[in-house]
Amino acid sequence: MKKVGIVLLASLALIGCTGTQKGATIGGIAGAALGGIIGYQNGHGVEGALIGGGVGAAGGALTGDAMDESNK
């Protein structure tokens, strides 16, 4: 139930954000989830989630910024 609340809160936080902010949020969530899964397989779930979240947020922000620029 806690995970559902976190996802719902993150979804509500995206309302009214720029593409860069949305990309960073979505990338961070997806990266943390994927990094946590991969890290868990190697016995380092928390570290994997932190690294994946950071990399995902950076990649998502870059993608969102590029989309914002193309829309101008």
Contact 10, 24 (CB under 8 A): no
Q: How many domains, the chain?
A: 1
Query: What distances in angstroms separate CA 66 from CA 62, 69, 71, one per listed residue?
Result: 6, 5, 9
**Contact between 12 and 25 (Cβ < 8 Å):** no
Whether 2 is covered by a domain: the verdict is no
Q: Which domain holds residue 46?
A: 19-71
- Please check whether residue 3 lies inside any domain of the structure: no
Write the DSSP symbol of residue 16. Answer: T
Local confidence pLDDT in tens for the 72 residues of the chain: 566 666 666 666 666 667 778 888 888 989 999 999 999 998 998 899 999 999 999 998 888 888 888 877
Distance CA 63, CA 47 (A): 24
Domain-embedded: residue 4: no
Give domain status of residue 29, yes or no: yes
